[in-house]
Amino acid sequence: MHEETPHTISIDDLWEIWPTLDDEERVEWFNQLEHEDAEDFFSSIPCEDQAEMFIAMPDRDRKHWMRELAPDDAADVLQLIDDEDLRDKLKSTLQPSVRKEVDALMAYKEDEAGGLMSPRFARCRPEMTADEAILYVRRQMREELETIYYIYVLDSQQHLLGVVSFEDLLKSGDSKKISDIMETDLTTVDEDMDQESVALLFAREDFFALPVVDSDNVMKGIITIDDIVDVVQEEATEDIQKMGGMAALDNDYLQSTFRELYSKRVVWLIVLFCCTIITTKVMDFYSSAMESAIILGVFVPLIMASGGNTGSQAATLVTRAMALDEIKLRDVLRVFKRELIVGSGLGATLAILGFIVATAAYFLGMVPSDSSYASFAGTISISVGVLVLYGSIVGSMLPFLLKFFHVDPASASAPFVTTILDASGIIIYFTIAKLIFL
Amino acid sequence: MHEETPHTISIDDLWEIWPTLDDEERVEWFNQLEHEDAEDFFSSIPCEDQAEMFIAMPDRDRKHWMRELAPDDAADVLQLIDDEDLRDKLKSTLQPSVRKEVDALMAYKEDEAGGLMSPRFARCRPEMTADEAILYVRRQMREELETIYYIYVLDSQQHLLGVVSFEDLLKSGDSKKISDIMETDLTTVDEDMDQESVALLFAREDFFALPVVDSDNVMKGIITIDDIVDVVQEEATEDIQKMGGMAALDNDYLQSTFRELYSKRVVWLIVLFCCTIITTKVMDFYSSAMESAIILGVFVPLIMASGGNTGSQAATLVTRAMALDEIKLRDVLRVFKRELIVGSGLGATLAILGFIVATAAYFLGMVPSDSSYASFAGTISISVGVLVLYGSIVGSMLPFLLKFFHVDPASASAPFVTTILDASGIIIYFTIAKLIFL
C-alpha cells in the first residue's frame, strides 16, 4: 500500500496512516521520526500496538524502547506477548529494580485495579515536617514518579495512613507536621477491584489519583485518572458492541482481522437464528389462521416490530443504567412499575396509530370483504398496544434476569430482545385475532 | 416515602437514598449531615442536583453554598436555573471577582470547551527563574487553583507561550530561566471545540489538564481531566440510548419523570411504526404469493431476522468506531470492502443453517407436498445468505450516509436498521422465491 521508501514523516502524518500499515511498515515509518517525536509517538499508541512493534522491531532497538516504558505499561505490553522467549528477552533488558516492579504488576489481571496501577507514587512519613516532606519528595523524583500531585503518608510497614497534596505542603507552614495536615478520610481502591468499578469511583469523586491497597491496608500503588479515561471508553465500547448483538472486539474495527470480525459476530447470529426457528414453528402453528385470512400474515411484521422496538428501548435504558450502577438488582420492582406506566402510555399511543393504519387497510380493500371493519381494526389496534406494553416489560426485566444469573446484562442486545419477543408476540397477536376477528 | 423526621445521616447512607428523595426531602436530609460531610457531599452531586437544591433551599443558606462552588461549577449551576430572578439573586451572593469569572464562563455553551474550563490556572512569566516561579505560584494559591500540576507561561498580553510542570520546576536548578525549561510544543484546545472532541484528545494524549485558548492564542482557562471522565460517560450513555432507538435522556433512568421517558421514546416509536407501514404494504403486494404457498409467510420472520441482526451488528460497529474517530467519512470504501468479505462469510454460514432448517421443515411435512424439496430449501438458504450479506452492507453504510448529511450516526439504531431492512428484505425474499420456488 505504501511502497515508496519512507523518508521523514511528522508525528501527525504517521498518526493518520498508522491504522493502514502492517507491523513491518509501522517499524519502518516509525524509525523515520525525529528522536523526540518517536518517544512522544511511542508513548501515545495503545499497548497492543506497542507489543506488536516490539515483536517486529530489530533486536538492537528493543532495549531502548523497553526502558522508555513506565513499569505499569511495560507489564501491560509483556502480558500481550505470547512468545515466552521474546517476553523473557524483553524483560531482561530492564534494570533489575524495574524488573522487580514489573514482575509484581504482572501478577495482576489486566482489567483489575492492580493491573492498572503504577508502583511509583510519592510518599512521606507522618512525623516529617512539611518542609522535610518536600525535600524528601524532590529526592524521590529522581526515579520518574507517576505524579507528585498527591503524597501518600505511610508508616514503616507501608500501611497507608493518609494523604497530602503538594499544594497542602506548599500552603502549610514549613514546620507543620505531616500528621497534622494530612487527610485521613481516604477513598482507597482494593487491589483486585475490577476496572469498571474503579472507573465509576473516579467518575463519582473528582480525584486525579487513587491509592491501591491490599487487604491489610498496605499501599501497593496508585491509579491515575489518565488511565481511567481509556478504561471508560473501552468499557463503553464493549457494552455497545454487546448491545449491538455480538461479542466485543479486542481491537478497533479497522484494525481487526476478518477472522476476528467473523468469529465475534457469527456466534450470536447462530444463536439468534436458532431462537428464531421457534418463531417459525409458532408461525406454522397459525398457518391455517393465516390461510383463512392472509391479511393477518401481512400485518405480522408491523405487530412484531412494535414489540421489538419498545423492547430494545427498555433493555438499552436498563442495561446502561446498570453499567453506571444507577440501577441495582433490588430496584427491579421500581423499574417494573415505571415500565408498566410508561409502557401503557406508549402502548395507548401506538394503538391509536394501529387503528388508523388498520382503517386505511380496510378501506383500501386489503381486508376480505366478508369480515367486519370493527373486529379487524380492533385486532390490529389492541395487538399493537398490548405488544408495546409487553415489550417494555420484557425488555426492562431481561437485564435483571441476566444480572441475577451473573450474565453480563449488556447481552440483552436489541437483536436478542427482538428475537425473544417475536415468538411470544405472534402468539399474543393470533390469540387476539382468534378472539375478535376470526 | 421517608416520613420519619430526619435525625443524622452518614454521607454514604444519604448517597444511597438520594435518588428516591424529592427536592424538599433532599434539602431536609442534606441539612442533617455534619458540616464537613455536607461540603463533600455537595461537591460530589451532579450540577443538575445542585441546581435543584438551590431552588429548594431556604434563602439564608444559598450564599454559603454558592460560595462553595468553583467558578466553572457555579456557571454550570446557574445555566440550569430557568427562573431569572433566582439566577440573579444567586449570582449576587458571589464575590465581585468571582462573579466576573462566572459571567465570562456563562457565555459558553455547556457542551463546548469553554463551558468545561476553569479560569483558575497557575501562571508565570518566561523571564522568571524556577525559584521565582515557585514563589509566584505559591502566592496564586491563595485563591483556590484548579491544579498546580501545570504552570502556564504567558506573556503580558496573556498569550500562551509554553508550559512547565511543577515537577520540572522542582527538578531544574533554582536559577534556571522558565523560558529555557518550558515545553513549547503544546497541545491546546480551542474555546469552541465540542466536548466530545476534547474527550478524544484527552484519551489520546495522557495529560491531566489542557489549556484552552482563543483564536489569538490568548489563554482562557484549563480543562482538567476529572471533568472529562464525566463527559466520556455522558457521551457514551447518549450514544447508547440513541443506538437503542430513542432520544437520549437528560437524567438518570430512575431520576427521569414518566413524562420524559414517554416523550423521549414515543417519537422514534412513531417514526419506526410509520416506516413499518411500508413493510406491511410490501407484504400485501406478495399476499397472493403467500396464499399459493403459506409456508413462505411462515418463514418471513426468520428471513427478516437474519438481515436485521447482521445489520444491527454492522451499524453498531461502524457507529461506535465513528464516535471514537477511528473511522472517518473517507474510510467508506475500506469499510465497504470489509463488510463485503465478512458479510459473505457470515452469509455462507447462515445459508447452511437455513438449508438445514428448510430440510427439517420439508420432511416434517410443513411444505405443500406438490413442491420440490430442492427448490424450497434453495429458496430459504439463498434468501438467508443474501439477506445476511445485504444486512452487513446496509448496516455499515447507513452511519456514513447519516454522517454525510450531518445527522448523528448514532441514530443508526438497531431498530432503525432492522426497520429499513425489513421491507427490502421481503422484496428480496419473494423475488428469490418467485424465481426458484413458485
Angle between helices B225-243 and B300-323 (to 10 degrees): 160
Cα A331–chain centre separation:
22
Class level of CATH domain A258-436: mainly alpha
Which chain A residues in 322-361 lie under 8 Å from chain B, judged by CB atoms?
324, 326-327, 331, 334-335, 338, 341-342, 345-346, 349-350, 353-354, 357, 361
Distance (Å, whole) CA B25 – CA B16: 14
**Residue labelled with grid coordinates 532497538:** A61
Nearest to A193 by CA among A74, A75, A118, A108: A108
CB atoms B240 and A239 under 8 Å: yes
For the segment B209-229, the average pLDDT, to the nearest whole number, is: 92
Taking the Cβ of residue B173 and every Cβ of chain A, the question of whether any pair is shorter than 8 Å is answered with no
For residue B13 the three cell numbers come to: 447512607
Domain B11-108: homologous superfamily in CATH: MgtE N-terminal domain-like (1.25.60.10)
pTM above 0.90, yes or no: no
- Mean pLDDT score of chain A, rounded to an integer? 89
CB atoms B342 and A261 under 8 Å: yes
CB B59 within 8 A of CB B50: no
Distance (Å, whole) CA B202 – CA A225: 11
For the segment A210-237, the average pLDDT, to the nearest whole number, is: 91
Q: Would the pLDDT of B1 be above 50?
A: no
In this prediction, residue B150 carries a pLDDT of: 92
**Residue labelled with grid coordinates 506477548:** A81
For the segment B303-314, the average pLDDT, to the nearest whole number, is: 93
CB atoms B353 and A265 under 8 Å: no
Domain B116-224: homologous superfamily in CATH: CBS-domain (3.10.580.10)
CB atoms A236 and B241 under 8 Å: no
Distance (Å, whole) CA A383 – CA A257: 44
For residue range A70-118, list pLDDT tens digits in order. Answer: 888 888 888 888 888 998 899 889 988 888 888 888 888 878 888 889 8
B261, B306, B326, B427, best to mutate vs chain A, most A CBs in 10 Å? B261
For residue range B25-46, list pLDDT tens digits in order. Answer: 888 888 888 888 888 888 878 7
Taking the Cβ of residue A104 and every Cβ of chain B, the question of whether any pair is shorter than 8 Å is answered with no
Residue A217: left if φ>0, alpha if ψ -120 to 50, beta else—which one?
left
Phi first, then psi, for residue B123 (nearest 5°) are -135, 160
Domain A11-109: homologous superfamily in CATH: MgtE N-terminal domain-like (1.25.60.10)
CB atoms B244 and A306 under 8 Å: no
**Per-residue confidence band for B264, with pLDDT thresholds at 50, 70 and 90:** very high
In this prediction, residue B265 carries a pLDDT of: 93
CB atoms A230 and B414 under 8 Å: no
| Residue type at position B366 | M
**Per-residue confidence band for B425, with pLDDT thresholds at 50, 70 and 90:** very high
Taking one residue from A and the other from B, the number of pairs with CB-CB distance under 8 angstroms is 371
b/e code A398-423 from CB counts within 10 Å (16+ = b): bbbebbeeeebbbbbbbbbbbbbbbb
Phi first, then psi, for residue A135 (nearest 5°) are -60, -40
Nearest to B176 by CA among B133, B232, B231, B239: B133
Nearest to A209 by CA among B278, A218, A219: A219
CB B205 within 8 A of CB A276: no
For residue A78 the three cell numbers come to: 509483556
For residue range B320-369, list pLDDT tens digits in order. Answer: 999 988 899 999 999 999 999 999 999 999 999 999 999 998 888 888 77
In this prediction, residue B356 carries a pLDDT of: 95
More confident residue, B4 or A300: A300
* Domain boundaries along the sequence of chain A: 11-109, 116-226, 258-436
Distance (Å, whole) CA B343 – CA B385: 9
Number of Cβ within a 10 Å radius of residue A366: 19
CB A211 within 8 A of CB A222: yes
Number of Cβ within a 10 Å radius of residue B152: 22
Distance (Å, whole) CA B76 – CA A356: 45
Distance (Å, whole) CA A282 – CA A299: 15
CB B313 within 8 A of CB B306: no
**Per-residue confidence band for A320, with pLDDT thresholds at 50, 70 and 90:** very high
Topology of A116-226 in CATH? Answer: CBS-domain (3.10.580)
CB A108 within 8 A of CB A119: no
Which chain A residues in 26-55 lie under 8 Å from chain B, judged by CB atoms?
43-44
Report the residue from B141, B225, B239 with minimal CB separation from A170.
Answer: B141
End-to-end CA distance of chain B: 65
Distance (Å, whole) CA B342 – CA A263: 10
Which chain B residues in 282-321 lie under 8 Å from chain A, judged by CB atoms?
283-284, 287, 290-291, 294-295, 297-302, 304-306, 308-310, 312-313, 315-318, 320-321
Query: Closest Cα of chain A to B107: distance in Å?
Result: 25
Q: Residue A366, SS3?
A: coil
CB atoms B313 and A145 under 8 Å: no
